[in-house]
Amino acid sequence: MFENFDATILARIQFAFTVSFHIIFPAFSIGLASYLAVLEALWLWKKDEVYLELFNFWKTIFAVAFGMGVVSGIVMSYQFGTNWSVFSDKAGPIIGPLMGYEVLTAFFLEAGFLGVMLFGLNRVGPQLHFLATAMVAIGTLISATWILSANSWMQTPRGFEINDVGQFVPVDWWAIVFNPSFPYRLVHMVLAAYLTTAFVVGACGAWHLIRRTAPRRARKMFSMAMWMAAIVAPIQIFAGDMHGLNTLEHQPAKVMAMEGHYQSHPEGAPLILFGIPNSAEKRVDYAIEVPKLSSLILKHDLNAPLAGLDTIAEELHPPVGIVFWSFRIMVGLGFAMLGIGLWSLWCRYRGTLDSNAWLHRAAVAMGPAGFVAVLAGWVTTEVGRQPYTVYGHLLTKDSVAPIAAPAVGASLLAFIIVYFFVFGAGTFYILRLMARLPRDPTPDLDEGPIRTAGAALANPHGGHHGH
């Protein structure tokens, strides 16, 4: 079935598939862990039970998402020893320790305090329980730090030498960990995780406001989520712009593909808003563009020259079509999130945040937007790095293990079937949990008359039927 396929392409598809499933869960759990810490801190500070109710509601969802993230991450990492064993041999002296540090400093911290966070409130007391919640949140951030450091080193490698057998060996761990793209990539990813969580929480709150199932809790979570969207979305757009400038400095071919610049522009490059990249003819067909705006964004000068892909050997070009469109999806969703945040500020100012049905519907529709934007961002950064695994030093075709296409294809097919069943069921369960927000213990007076029909069916003696 797979005999006529390229083993390298199949191995890349398999890794892309598994990492795409995996990144969804950390992107959610990183933000949700911090949200849980904020909820518990507000409960301890304000003594308002609604924060504890929301904490208990979201901690169950966090536990499921965390578990699926761990499982999908372990499965993904196995591929380093199967499909990508040559990469593991060559880059292992650097990538191996970084991933080991992630387990030692982050996963142990998360796993050690997770049980206390989930089950220990009545056993250890509120203060120690809050410490456990904070440790889980910090653990997720440390985990992101190590993983993004490893990935950033592959994008902008520093602090290494290549030994006699072609292995990357460390000579300066500070330069390896804090490589040129690492700070930008870490900030961009953590903010993306917070936005992803904000829009999931906001969608859940909006859904229950529309259905009027738990008004007080829904209002609180929707308000908190919209504050996060309004504050973080503009910061994320600024951080993304800084990350783009860093990428232009260290990975110019990726930015050329993102911008669709097949040709150099010596007197100012246009910003191509939309179009169809045509790699055969080296142009963007049906381009809708703004003259010289790309030079202004990337060089802060309308007439600044920008090099194109014509300055790079064709075999070193990344796949332009994929990078071009994934970048636009990410940016478009980022501005849509900003729009929702600004809209919520306007409604908050007008006093209609809890009653604007169109805002609530838009928030529900934008619930998955963070996940799509994260996936589009990772496609942009990973496909844009091609044809390298270690940028500028190790080609992808030289990283794959010497395995036959049918073997990779069979495992890819197995992954697809198992993942859709297992993670599909897990995702469905999370959605079911979100839909079951417990009703408020005391209905709001403005919600209409309280239905008391059937009250007479209660035991008139006031005791339990078993007595």
Per-residue pLDDT of 90-129, as tens digits, reads 998 999 899 888 888 888 888 888 888 888 888 888 889 8
Facing residues of 277 across strands? 284
Mean pLDDT on 198-212: 89
What's the pLDDT tens digit per position in 227-282?
999 999 999 999 999 998 999 889 999 988 988 888 888 888 888 888 888 888 88
pLDDT value of position 422: 84
Q: What is the mean pLDDT of the chain?
A: 85
Res 74 pLDDT > 90: no
What's the pLDDT tens digit per position in 286-325?
888 888 888 888 888 888 888 888 888 888 888 888 999 9
DSSP-derived secondary structure letter, 106: I
Q: What is the dihedral of CA 426, 428, 430, 434, to 10 degrees?
A: -170
Res 24 pLDDT > 90: no
Res 200 pLDDT > 70: yes
The closest of 405, 366, 382, 270 to 322, measured between CA atoms, is 382
Do the beta carbons of residue 272 and residue 306 sit within 8 Å?
A: no
pTM, rounded to two decimals: 0.86
Q: Which of 59-68, 122-131, 148-157, 455-464 has the lowest mean pLDDT?
A: 455-464
pLDDT value of position 459: 43
Pairwise pLDDT comparison (446 vs 312), residue with the higher score: 312
pLDDT value of position 451: 42
pLDDT value of position 330: 93
What tokens were used for 125? 């007391």
The closest of 222, 287, 224 to 259, measured between CA atoms, is 287
3-state helix, strand, coil in the chain (%, to 5): 70, 5, 25
CB-count burial class (<10 Å; 0-12, 13-18, 19+) for 185: buried
CB burial readout 395-414, b (16+ within 10 A) else e: ebebbbbebebebbbebbee
Phi, psi angles (nearest 5°) of residue 265 = -125, 95
Res 452 pLDDT > 70: no
Do the beta carbons of residue 391 and residue 155 sit within 8 Å?
A: yes
Res 179 pLDDT > 70: yes
Q: What is the dihedral of CA 95, 97, 102, 103, to 10 degrees?
A: 120
Report angle CA 15, 17, 19 to the nearest 5 degrees: 65
pLDDT value of position 375: 93
Interatomic CA distance for residues 35 and 43, integer angstroms: 12
pLDDT value of position 438: 66
Mean pLDDT on 67-76: 82
CB burial readout 292-303, b (16+ within 10 A) else e: bbbbbbbbeeee
Res 66 pLDDT > 90: no
What tokens were used for 201? 């929480």
pLDDT value of position 191: 94
Confidence of residue 201 (pLDDT cuts 50, 70, 90): very high
Res 174 pLDDT > 70: yes
DSSP-derived secondary structure letter, 104: I
Confidence of residue 1 (pLDDT cuts 50, 70, 90): low
Interatomic CA distance for residues 454 and 460, integer angstroms: 13
pLDDT value of position 421: 87
The closest of 252, 238, 259 to 184, measured between CA atoms, is 238
Q: What residue has token string 């330069």?
A: 175
What tokens were used for 413? 């097919």
**Domain locations along the chain:** 7-264+307-435, 265-306
Mean pLDDT on 372-380: 92
Pairwise pLDDT comparison (98 vs 460), residue with the higher score: 98
pLDDT value of position 450: 41
pLDDT value of position 410: 86
What tokens were used for 154? 């592959």
Distances in whole angstroms, Cα of residue 183 to Cα of each of 42, 174, 190: 30, 13, 11
Mean pLDDT on 197-201: 93
Report angle CA 234, 38, 436 to the nearest 5 degrees: 95
Confidence of residue 467 (pLDDT cuts 50, 70, 90): very low
